Amino acid sequence: MLSHYYTVKGQGDHEIVIQKSRFISHIARATTEAEAQSFILEIKKKHWDATHNCSAYIIGEHNQIQKANDDGEPSGTAGVPILEVLKKRDLKDTVVVITRYFGGIKLGAGGLIRAYGKATSEGINATGMVERKLVQIMHTNVEYTLLGKLENELRSSSLFLLKNIHYLEAVTFDVYVEEDKIESYQAWITEMTNGKAETTSGDRLYLEQDV
């Protein structure tokens, strides 16, 4: 699993007009090729009357799956420019469909490449991006005498993120810790509690933060 990566925040749409042609960008997250193709099909059905529904997607930890489709535009003028924006933004697990309603003015190859690139970029900006960081939930048990001190320190920490506090026979703190900071967390806890804490590892998951 990657320690972190970027993807789109969710699903979004954005429209721009270039030389009287409407370019509507449809952005979504897709973790499998089937999800990406399903989204493309959904947009094509919705905009069945459009001149073109051009698309591209990039999927996988190492960008193993990359596809681009010009949907009738001159070869290399639509799908590839969309895909290049995804690569330039370093996005993963993302699918884009650009719907074009022709406005009567031909843009030429260069104009099309710029138009599809701009529509993709502005669509991503409107939808938003997130950074997904791999974290481990660390469960730290302490006596109640250390509750106030440790809670204050965790809530003010910029390195570790407090998830929950369980008040049982002892106090258990659930803390999100980035994978490369686990040793630092354990050392920090030992120092904060003078060695009077017991810490175990929990689930691994991705946390999202807007960028």
In CATH, what is the architecture of 7-127?
Answer: 2-Layer Sandwich (3.30)
Single pTM value for the model: 0.90
Overall CATH class of domain 131-210: alpha beta
Show Cβ contacts of residue 35 under 8 Å, excluding neighbours closer than 6 positions: 95
pLDDT in tens, 53-70: 999 999 999 999 999 999
| Cα Rg of the chain, angstroms | 23
- Predicted confidence band of residue 22 (pLDDT cuts 50, 70, 90): very high
| CA-to-CA separations, 174 to 112, 160, 161, 194, in angstroms, rounded | 51, 10, 9, 19
Written as six digits, the tokens of 96 are 């884009």
Show Cβ contacts of residue 37 under 8 Å, excluding neighbours closer than 6 positions: none
User: Residue 188: what are its φ and ψ, rounded to 5°?
Assistant: -65, -45
pLDDT in tens, 159-206: 999 999 999 999 999 999 998 999 999 999 999 999 999 999 999 999
Helix, strand, or coil (residue 21):
strand
The pLDDT value recorded for residue 38 is: 98
Domain definitions of the chain by residue range = 7-127, 131-210
